[in-house]
């Protein structure tokens, strides 16, 4: 077995620590100022949406996560490999909008495969293909796929806006996760 260099060893230690202490509370991403958590379980998209809205953190109601940057997208991948996101083209086929949260009603994708985004999107190859009428956004390993609402095999990502008051933030964990992100980015750059 090849010996790890110091950066790889540090990364392995961080990953081991993170998986041993899987966050049971929402984690802050300083880039957006929002908090995120992956909820495991068996949900179709609509059930995930109402479950997210029923949750509160720091007195703020949650919503199915909206992803508007590559940093936010990568951050979710640290929390879990897959889950529902808050996007849908159920109202108008091929017009993808964020359902809830600050971006509610905002179009993030126009058209099917080969369409365009006015903001940010991370579709996997050949998606969104609307196969058998797929209208709901699913995250898997950093890329997106449109799936049918009847898919129930997944957990989901919940996002919380910052509290309006001055509630303390779980800084330790967020700094750890940001450190991991930084390591990933720097090791990618050095390749």
User: Contact residues for Ca ion (CB under 5 A)?
Assistant: 66, 89, 127, 129-130, 134-135, 145-146
What is the C-alpha to C-alpha distance for residues 87 and 100, in angstroms, rounded to an integer?
A: 9
Helices vs strands, H then E, count in the chain: 4, 10
Comparing CB distances to Ca ion, the nearer of 129 and 186 is 129
Nearer to Ca ion, 71 or 176 (CB): 71
19, with CB counted inside 10 A (0-12, 13-18, 19+), is exposed
- Rounded to a whole number of angstroms, the minimum distance from the CB of residue 129 to Ca ion is 4
Taking the least distance from each CB to Ca ion, the nearer of 111 and 179 is: 111
Please check whether residue 88 is in contact with residue 136, taking contact to mean a CB–CB distance below 8 angstroms: yes
Phi, psi of 53 (to 5 degrees): -70, -25
In whole angstroms, the minimum distance from the beta carbon of 102 to Ca ion comes to 7
Residue 53: closest CA among 43, 64, 39: 64
Which parts of 140-189 fold into alpha helices (H)?
Answer: 171-189
| Least distance from Ca ion to the Cβ atom of residue 37, Å | 13
Which of 82, 135 has the CB closer to Ca ion?
Answer: 135
The least CB distance from residue 62 to Ca ion, in Å, is 11
> In the numeric block, which tokens belong to residue 28?
């802050």
Smaller CB separation from Ca ion, 11 or 160: 160
Q: Minimum CB separation from Ca ion for residue 73, in Å?
A: 10
């Amino acid at each position: 077995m090849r010996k790890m260099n110091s950066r790889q060893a540090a990364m392995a230690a961080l990953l081991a620590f993170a998986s041993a202490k899987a966050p049971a509370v929402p984690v802050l991403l300083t880039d957006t100022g929002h908090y995120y958590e992956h909820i495991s379980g068996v949900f179709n998209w609509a059930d995930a949406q109402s479950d997210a809205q029923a949750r509160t953190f720091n007195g703020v109601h949650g919503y199915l996560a909206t992803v508007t940057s590559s940093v936010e997208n990568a951050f979710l991948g640290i929390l879990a490999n897959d889950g529902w996101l808050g996007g849908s083209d159920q109202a108008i086929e091929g017009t993808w909008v964020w359902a809830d949260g600050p971006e509610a009603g905002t179009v993030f994708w126009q058209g099917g495969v080969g369409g365009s985004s006015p903001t940010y999107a991370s579709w996997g190859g050949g998606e969104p293909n609307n196969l058998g009428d797929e209208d709901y956004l699913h995250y898997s390993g950093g890329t997106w796929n449109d799936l049918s609402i009847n898919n129930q095999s997944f957990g989901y990502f919940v996002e919380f806006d910052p509290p309006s008051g001055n509630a303390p933030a779980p800084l330790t964990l967020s700094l750890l996760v940001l450190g991991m992100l930084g390591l990933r980015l720097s090791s990618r750059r050095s390749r």
